[in-house]
């Protein structure tokens, strides 16, 4: 799940103990001029890029921030994406049916935000009344985003539609770099915290500990918690790898295309594994409502949701090479179809087995019919079918969840198009 175009300021409270309090001579006027003037040269030194123009900083009241957030969530494109994702995740069992996703995200943002950079207005906003020690850290973090936006359009990346996984990978770069360089800038580019034994692990623990102390976040479903933390933690680890392996290079010129490339360094740095693009084609016996991707990271979360075993979830999702789902309306009600492509028949088979186990645990039932290639389940007025087959020479797994009595033959194999993107370096 992408962050609906908004970043929640996790790092504000969790890295206080790592920050320095050095202040330089202000170079800019306006709110927090001293903090900005001190942070800018340290950020430029840490990132290795110069600001093309001075950043803008303004203050807002909590009520102004709330109204700003609400406005974003009512924008038609954003609303369509949010409603489509909510339908998909509820159908997959990743969100409870009673959850109101938009309200939860608004509450999360209100709980978390101390400051944020808005790529549309090109302004860094700081919430009035925020603790002074945290404001300095938040300004540093968000200034990294302001610098990023001068070299790659954050606004255009946030508005990518229909490819949640690619957008999540990009977000991991932006937030991961902001976390990593925020710490580096605060330490004068001396990465002691990263290099000491347990240094990076301790930073990870601090971020998670801080989040658990936030009531709204702590009570949110696993999907929400993990997809919001992912870009900060896994993204920062990716950036650390990038800086070690590609010294002097600019990441914006060669962005990762999937969460697989964020999670597995070899899939990006050594044997570039570009995701397979899937076109589902014309559907039968149903009308499409919304279409998108999960990606390897959310596939992990889906398995973990029901298996409650991290090793199994990681193992089952490894070998992912692309996926596409569609929320559909059938004559009997709403359903979902989800096709995934795998690197090898072995990995597809492992995912097939673990996905079946997850469905059995989710609905507390056994397969009504079963063969080596197809298993079907009947539970709670639903019919679930999981099948494995070869399409265009590639091993695939198909998941179909429709109301009982509805025709599950929605995806037509002859209509499917698989395009394996050429790897880039």
Q: 203 pLDDT band (50/70/90 cuts)?
A: low
How far apart CA 60 and CA 171 sit, in angstroms, is: 25
How far apart CA 221 and CA 1 sit, in angstroms, is: 12
Q: 208 pLDDT band (50/70/90 cuts)?
A: low
Q: 28 pLDDT band (50/70/90 cuts)?
A: low
Q: Mean pLDDT, to the nearest integer, of 89-94?
A: 98
In this model, does residue 198 exceed pLDDT 80? Answer: no
pTM for the model stands at 0.91
Q: How many CB atoms within 10 Å of residue 343?
A: 18
DSSP string, 41-104: HHHHHHHT---SS--EEEEE-HHHHHHHHHHHHTSHHHHHHHHHHHHHHHHHTSS-TT--HHHH
CATH pick for 276-420 out of 2.40.30, 1.10.357, 3.40.1000, 1.10.10: 3.40.1000
Q: Report the pLDDT value the prediction gives residue 158, as an integer from 0 to 100.
A: 76
Q: Which residues have CB under 8 Å from 298's CB, separation 6+?
A: 1, 94, 164, 165, 168, 223, 227, 259
Q: Report the pLDDT value the prediction gives residue 343, as an integer from 0 to 100.
A: 97
Using DSSP's 3-state secondary structure scheme, residue 2 falls into: coil
Rounded to the nearest 10°, the torsion over CA 110, 116, 118, 119 is: -130
Q: Report the pLDDT value the prediction gives residue 196, as an integer from 0 to 100.
A: 46
Where do the domains of the chain lie?
A: 11-261, 276-420
Token representation of residue 95: 């969100």
Could you give the percent of the chain with pLDDT greater than 70?
Answer: 86
30: left (phi over 0), alpha (psi -120 to 50) or beta: left
- pLDDT tens per residue across span 299-325: 999 999 999 999 999 999 999 999 999
């Amino acid at each position: 799940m992408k962050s609906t175009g908004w970043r929640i300021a996790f790092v504000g409270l969790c890295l206080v103990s790592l920050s320095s309090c050095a202040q330089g001579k202000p170079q800019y006027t306006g709110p927090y001029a001293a903090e900005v003037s001190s942070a800018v040269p340290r950020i430029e030194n840490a990132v290795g890029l110069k600001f093309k123009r001075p950043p803008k900083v303004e203050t807002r009241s909590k009520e102004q921030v709330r109204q700003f957030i609400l406005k974003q969530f009512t924008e038609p494109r954003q609303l369509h994406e949010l409603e489509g994702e909510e339908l998909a995740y509820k159908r997959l069992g990743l969100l409870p049916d009673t959850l109101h996703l938009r309200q939860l995200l608004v509450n999360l943002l209100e709980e978390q935000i101390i400051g944020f950079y808005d790529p549309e207005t090109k302004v860094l906003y700081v919430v009035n009344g925020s603790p002074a020690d945290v404001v300095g850290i938040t300004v540093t973090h968000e200034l990294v985003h302001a610098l990023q936006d001068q070299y790659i359009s954050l606004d255009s990346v946030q508005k990518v539609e229909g490819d949640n996984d690619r957008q999540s990978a990009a977000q991991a770069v932006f937030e991961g770099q902001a976390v990593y360089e925020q710490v580096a800038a605060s330490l004068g580019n001396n990465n002691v915290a990263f290099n000491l034994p347990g240094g990076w692990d301790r930073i990870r623990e601090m971020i998670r500990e801080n989040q658990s102390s936030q009531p709204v976040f702590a009570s949110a479903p696993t999907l929400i918690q993990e997809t919001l933390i992912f870009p900060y933690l896994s993204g920062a680890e990716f950036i650390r790898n990038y800086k070690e392996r590609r010294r002097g290079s600019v990441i914006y010129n060669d962005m990762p295309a999937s969460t697989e490339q964020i999670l597995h360094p070899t899939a990006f740095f050594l044997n570039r594994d570009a995701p397979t693009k899937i076109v589902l084609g014309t559907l039968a016996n149903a009308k499409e409502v919304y279409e998108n991707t999960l990606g390897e990271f959310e596939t992990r979360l889906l398995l973990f949701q029901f298996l409650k075993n991290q090793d199994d979830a990681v193992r089952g999702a490894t070998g992912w090479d692309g996926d596409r789902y569609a929320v559909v309306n059938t004559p009997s009600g709403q359903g979902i179809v989800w096709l995934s492509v795998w690197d090898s028949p072995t990995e597809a088979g492992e995912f097939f087995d673990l996905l079946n186990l997850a469905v059995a645990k989710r609905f507390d039932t056994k397969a009504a019919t079963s063969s080596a290639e197809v298993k079907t389940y009947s539970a709670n007025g639903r019919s679930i079918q999981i099948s494995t087959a070869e399409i265009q020479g590639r091993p695939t797994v198909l998941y179909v969840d429709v109301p009982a009595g509805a025709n599950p033959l929605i995806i037509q194999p002859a209509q499917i198009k698989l395009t394996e993107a050429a790897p880039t370096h």
